Structure 1
Amino acid sequence: MVLAAASESEFSGHPGLQTRHPRAILTLGILLVFTILSYVDRMVLVLLIDPIKRSLLISDVQVSLLQGLAFALCFSIAGLPLGWLADRFSRRWIIYCGITAWSFATAAGGLASSFGELFLARFCVGVGEAALAPAAYTMLADLFPRRQLAAATGVLATGGAIGGGSAVLAGGLVVAWAEQAGMVTLPLIGTVQPWQLVFLSFGVPGILAAFLIFLAPETRHMAPPSQGGTEAGFGSWLSANRLFVSTLVVGTGGLGILAYAVTNWTPAYLSRALGLDPREIGLTLGLVQLFAGIVGFAGSGVLIDWLTARNLRNATYSYLIASAVVSGAMAVIAFAFAPSLTVVMICLGLFHMAIPFTTAMIAGVQAGTPRAYRGRMIAIMNLAASLVGMILGPWSVAMLTDHVFVDPAKVGLSVAIVCGVTAPICVLIYLAGFRSAARAMDSVRKSGE
């Protein structure tokens, strides 16, 4: 669906926006680049698990803390205040500072020589990336009309698939190159190991690209006055819509467990159980994750818009329920029952098509939350996905592998158990909040926002 854009001087950014901003597509493209970079920096660690374990002499549980707790703790702590800032101050400066911070922190991971130093670097990556989502998604709500918003959100969310897939695809090649190069001596830094060189290489692009955000329009002045946008007003709204909010938050956390359990431990499974090297993992898993994820992220937004246009009540929750069913089933088959690498990759492809919950989650927030509260609600959703998903997903798999099976080669079975238990719980949670969510969305739609 394509609409003619109004001239920039005519654009008012009012809640009932009917025509997209003339720089909406440019802004979406810039934000997509930033989202890709954020996921590349976030996910590059998954290809470096075994080299880091050997270098720092750490366990799978400690690796899970680097994957989850180190990043998610700061990501979560910083998310709410940054969401509050995104509702009130310059979103462009918030994004610029966040990108610069996480890029330097990623590069700093290449200087770590102990578990504690690498944990601190990943912690700082979290605070930088926490700035992006609340500011970016609220910018879209000010630049695109409601009927195009889920599709625009889906395009932006594809950055997760492109970034995650690129981290595995390009990262596998970079890891292979770095391992072939061996120990490298860098000016001012000294001698670094191959895994450290990978971190240093991935930190540079974000520092250079951060300035692009100033090509986007500033949208803060478009927000309506904060009538009812006070903290008391936000608290009252949360109380009145507690079932909608709680089921979206907890369900999002559950899907986060599925997503991060599979994403963080698939390379280790392919290496330990199936004998693939980093280059082979990058070329197979990277391509599957990249293309299937793009279809899932972008397609979910288009599908939700299509279902909404045909008056399906609460298309968001319907999609999330289907996502939990399909992704849970595919994960169990891939990691517990698949007889060959080909079947594993087919199941993982279907998993990555079905699991993208970000588009539906953000679409649900935008559809069911008054405009003055969206930045904070998006931050709450990210907090749920990070605190619950990024911590419990990798950690629960590691605990089963290290302390129940006591066998690194059993990591696949650990992933299958975690996903097989979590997916049905997510379905029940979304069913419990289905009607409440629909009422919240109806209320916002009737208000003209």
Structure 2
Amino acid sequence: MNEQSPSGRLGGASLVPWLTLLLLLMMGLYTYMDRPLMTLLTEDMRRALGMSDFQIGLVQGLSFALLAALASYPIAWAADRLDRRWVIAGSLFVWAVAIFLCAIAGSFTELFLASALVGVGEAGLLPITYALIPELFTGQARVLANSLVILFGRVGSGAVFAIVGVLAANAHSAQQWLPDSLASLDPWRTALILLAIPGPFLALAALGLPIRRRPLEVEDQRSGHKAPIISYLRVHWPAYGSFALGIGLLVFAMTSLMSFLPVAAMRQMGASQIYVANAMSLATIVGMGLAFVLVLGISALLKRRSPGREPIILLLVASGGCLLIAPFILLTSTPLQLFIALGGVFLCFSIGAMSFPNGLQELTPVDGRARLISIVIMGNFGMTALAQPIAGLLSDALDKSGGKLLVASIAVAATALVLSVISLAFCARRYAACVKAVQS
């Protein structure tokens, strides 16, 4: 594909594209805050609404991820045909309204529906950001921008845990600033309301983003033919399918661990909300930073010894490393030990997260890449939707009082990791041949 800058594309040497990307990433991080905040507020919500662990899993997993997966394609369709600034603004506004509805929910059903709407609001931001990058940057600047999206997202998610920890711990102090009708609400409801307040203002800011109203036409549209996705899948479905399944199972495992281990630390080990928030923040930031260094070093080594297979090897290292560390979490007896072990798992997962985009891009043809990648992302949403309800259901089956949440989370994650390693190993045998065929 021609790498020359099309008319109207922002130049890579300008600060405007980088500032635009920064604003998009900050908006994305803002809409990520609901998940760690609701994790910290889980026990308060469970007691207030009388929910079981299975219902918690439905609220934080199935409702959010399933609707996000279903909404992602229609939102992407709208972004291809409408003014993308309005699509981004609409997503932010819907997200903020949905968080407010979560705050005033009076039952499990109301919270489930509101949480689903949160997923709809969040579904479009990251795909639109990835779609905009080729229009904002060219050459090596584009490579750097894609890498920064991953790094900023992971490190930023660690900082988000610290921010929402402060929000959860101090929500009661802010009640005096709310209207009388809201000031008497429980602190967990107040925390969610405070999170929703900046949303409409960010939505207005999105309308001023210096981006093209509509995306640039891609080369296959200009030439008048459709991408041969069916032909590709007919030949390469074993490599593509096993890659997608291995990634999905890895996401499934990490969703179970990252969602319920913080809850187990508070419920079974007596950790405070602020301790859990700071520990998750530190584990996330340190794990991602170390993974960034390791991926660069290991990739350089593999490029000399196993050229063309670096991504799939790194993904096998990621899944295998998570599988080796996860069972040791059952041996922990203090929050500190638990979060050290969880940090090790997150380090391994981060190696996979940084290798996944590169591997999928190499595995798929240029003229059908966006749609093939979207299928994998939708599958990941589906895995996210299933992980928490399954872990919660197993926890309820083992102990109705919730005392086996740690065991249930590890059991579900370890099973998924075993299957992930098997699937990625199957892909590794076909990966190089598929990449060679696609690039020829």
Instruction: Normalising by structure 2, report the TM-score.
Output: 0.86
- CA–CA distance in structure 2, aligned partners of residues 169 and 38 of structure 1: 15
- CA–CA distance in structure 1, aligned partners of residues 48 and 379 of structure 2: 32
- CA–CA distance in structure 2, aligned partners of residues 85 and 307 of structure 1: 43
- CA–CA distance in structure 2, aligned partners of residues 213 and 302 of structure 1: 37
Partner of 2:63: 70
Supply the AA of the counterpart residue of 1:237: Y
Q: Indicate the SS of the match to 2:184.
A: strand
Alignment CA distance shift 1:165-1:237 (3 Å): same
Among 353, 356, 362, the alignment partner of 1:367 is 362
Partner of 1:252: 247
Supply the AA of the counterpart residue of 2:6: S
Partner of 1:329: 324
Identity of aligned residues (%): 24
Partner of 2:394: 400
Gaps of 5+ in 2: none
Is 2:337 aligned against 1:343?
yes
Q: Quote how far apart the aligned CAs of 1:181 are.
A: 6.5
Q: Quote how far apart the aligned CAs of 1:264 are.
A: 0.7
> Which of 308-317 and 107-116 deviates more?
308-317
- CA–CA distance in structure 1, aligned partners of residues 218 and 287 of structure 2: 36
Q: Indicate the SS of the match to 2:197.
A: helix
Contact 2:164 2:277 in 1 (8 A): yes
- CA–CA distance in structure 2, aligned partners of residues 372 and 341 of structure 1: 49
Partner of 2:377: 382
- CA–CA distance in structure 2, aligned partners of residues 76 and 265 of structure 1: 22
Is 2:127 aligned against 1:134?
yes
Q: Quote how far apart the aligned CAs of 1:320 are.
A: 1.2
Contact 2:37 2:168 in 1 (8 A): no
Alignment CA distance shift 1:116-1:43 (3 Å): same
Q: How does 1:148-297 map to 2 (within 5 A)?
A: 151-179=144-172, 186=179, 189=182, 191-210=184-203, 211-212=205-206, 214-218=208-212, 220-221=215-216, 223-226=218-221, 233-296=228-291
Q: Quote how far apart the aligned CAs of 1:411 are.
A: 1.2
Q: Indicate the SS of the match to 2:276.
A: helix
Alignment CA distance shift 1:143-1:373 (3 Å): farther
Q: Quote how far apart the aligned CAs of 1:12 are.
A: 2.5
Is 2:104 aligned against 1:116?
no
Supply the AA of the counterpart residue of 1:46: T
- CA–CA distance in structure 2, aligned partners of residues 80 and 256 of structure 1: 20
Partner of 2:20: 27
Alignment CA distance shift 1:126-1:53 (3 Å): same
- CA–CA distance in structure 1, aligned partners of residues 414 and 36 of structure 2: 23
- CA–CA distance in structure 2, aligned partners of residues 342 and 190 of structure 1: 35
Q: Quote how far apart the aligned CAs of 1:290 are.
A: 3.4
- CA–CA distance in structure 2, aligned partners of residues 434 and 363 of structure 1: 15
- CA–CA distance in structure 2, aligned partners of residues 229 and 157 of structure 1: 33
Partner of 2:415: 421
Q: How does 1:51-62 map to 2 (within 5 A)?
A: 51-62=44-55
Partner of 1:12: 6
Gaps of 5+ in 1: 1-5
Q: Indicate the SS of the match to 2:404.
A: helix
Partner of 2:435: 441
Aligned length: 432
- CA–CA distance in structure 2, aligned partners of residues 351 and 129 of structure 1: 26
Instruction: Normalising by structure 1, report the TM-score.
Output: 0.84
Q: Quote how far apart the aligned CAs of 1:94 are.
A: 3.2
Alignment CA distance shift 1:328-1:85 (3 Å): farther
Q: Quote how far apart the aligned CAs of 1:241 are.
A: 2.7
Among 340, 352, 356, the alignment partner of 2:346 is 352
